[in-house]
A = this chain, B = another copy of it.
Amino acid sequence: MQTTITARPLTAQDFAPYGDVLAAEGQADKIINQGFCGRWHDRARLDFGPDGRAGISIFKAEPRSLPYTLDLLERHPEGSQAFIPISMTEWLVIVAADAGGAPGRIAAFIAAPGQGINLHRGTWHGVLTPLHAPGLFAVIDRIGATPNLQEFPLEVPRTITR
């Protein structure tokens, strides 16, 4: 078992099995506002299930530090969940493959300043872990009346380093 996991830089390619990287990377899809603004268009695969709708919430989380002890993963079976940092600071993203309804192999990424993510519906992930103040994020996720959280405590905690 991997008891220590090294976080690597977040890239769209490496993150593709888990979700989308939301950032002004590469060429803009469109230039708008008389040349003053680039638009990277519709970059998240949003899915709020049959009984949900999109909502925007604000999260303010305590900054964590590395090495970080991971003892819980969770997922939202009914919806995607996007995290947009409201600060130009790096933050820690932890995800895992699914292995028959439980988390499988765990991966950790350091999101660079300016990078947000959208977790695809049902993706196992750690809780929100900013590495610096203010720990402020906009979260675009499913609003709905039916259950949408599965938690999976890890019997053997993992250490996340960089």
Contact = CB atoms under 8 A, between A and B. Distances in A.
B61 A41 contact: no
| Number of this chain's copies in the complex | 2
Interface string A21-63: 0111000100011101111111110100000011111111110
Nearest to A41: B57
User: What is the predominant secondary structure among interface residues of chain A facing chain B?
Assistant: strand
Contacts of A58: 22-24, 39-40, 43, 116
Interface in A105-132: 114, 116, 118, 127-128
A138 interface: yes
Given A37-B59, A140-B140, 14 more contacts: A22-B58, A24-B60, A28-B60, A33-B61, A34-B127, A37-B62, A38-B60, A39-B139, A54-B140, A56-B84, A56-B118, A86-B114, A86-B116, A138-B138
